[in-house]
Amino acid sequence: MKNILITGGAGFIGSNIALKLVDKGFNVTVLDNLSSQIHGTDPKCTSPLYKSIIDKVVFIEGSVTSREDWENALHHQDAVIHLAAETGTGQSMYQIQRYMDVNVGGTAIMLDILANNPHHIKKVIIASSRAIYGEGKYYCKTHGIVYPTEREDRDLKNGDFSCKCPVCKKDVKLLPTSEDSKIHPTSVYGITKQNQEQMVLTVCKSLNIAAVSYRYQNVYGPGQSLTNPYTGILSIFSTRIKNNNDINIFEDGKETRDFVFIEDVAEATILGLEKDEANGQVYNVGTGVATDVVTVANTLAKYYQNDVSIQISGNYRLGDIRHNFADISKIYRELGFKPEWSFERGIHAFTAWVSHQEIPEDKYELSIEEMQNKGLYK
């Protein structure tokens, strides 16, 4: 396979994968709509992500919601890395049709073409998400391994942010989430990623096309959009700090995520393209390390040498999970993937990059106001 189509290939993850594939001798085509939420209002002039790939790939400006754009992009391709999607859990809870149209509808168009049109596609890689798990895996002293349901508004309102055993309602211990864990997303975004994964794995199998799904954890690194106030806690906090705005940490600050550096994500994704062992499989892509939000904020402030106030407010967003970090033993065992970037090393590289960027206007408060107006932020 030499000709690779990357949808969303001008985005953060896609552009990094594209450049690595070009370096390895692949011919890369990118289909991207240059969303202003990611690339700004004049992307061809100002977007560093777009500029990083434009003279190295065949670029098609178009949308995955357009059958014509899909048919044009799939012409003479050997494989698809399907990354194009609307992202962000909070925004997905009130832009429901948009998320369904792009994420589910766009994937359906691709699969419909593969099922009914002549093509040369031998493999499809789909970008799934840790969001499909909802709350991850936990251990209850009485009931063993359990998967807590969505936390109740009344508990969050009373400052009880912990996850409970769904049987006895007692507090539970966090475990790494493995690929065989229960799938029960708590946001529309998570539902769409689950649907994408299931559609690709099911349809491609019936068409004798190899398929691989990657459940990415929280991806970060140089090149991440600093203009998107809806997703990417590291970029959101960085933009606020650089604008000398205080940081408002939700809940009690002890909520955790698995932050995985962009270089590791790109390497893991390319392994799935190159290795037959990945065919038909799903993999977590993370570090296997849980890092709490207070640590994130304090580490960023340290590297930026900025003493903005970091406030733990007790505010919360409906649909947010408490914890999730990946069990990455399967991808190590089957593909030999092991993350090379620790959180400390990655944050150092990320903040060094941010410090050389023109910092955009901080629009985070507007995103919070939107959620508040919809009753999703308390």
**230 an active-site residue?**
no
Q: What are phi and psi of 95, to 5 degrees?
A: -115, 55
Whole-angstrom Cα distance, residue 260 to residue 287? 6
Active-site choice (50, 147, 189, 377): 189
Q: Which helix (H) or strand (E) element contains residue 68?
A: helix 67-74
d(Cα 64, Cα 107) in Å, to the nearest integer?
7
Handedness of CA 114, 264, 262, 318 (dihedral sign): positive
> Across-strand partners of 326?
177
Tell me if 330 sits within 8 A of 284, measured CB to CB: yes
Strand partners, 218: 259
Q: Are 76 and 119 in contact (CB under 8 A)?
A: no
Calpha distance 162→145 (Å, rounded): 16
Q: How far is CA 32 from CA 12, 109, 259, 366, in A?
A: 12, 15, 25, 26
Sequence-separated (6 or more) residues with CB below 8 Å from residue 283: 179, 212, 213, 214, 215, 268, 272, 330, 331, 334, 335, 337
Residue partners of 144: CB distance under 8 A and separation at least 6:
none
Using an 8 Å Cβ cutoff, are 102 and 65 in contact?
Answer: yes
Q: Which amino acid is at 14?
A: G
Measured CA distances, 308 to 129, 195, 295, 305, 313 (Å): 32, 41, 15, 9, 15
The catalytic residues are 189
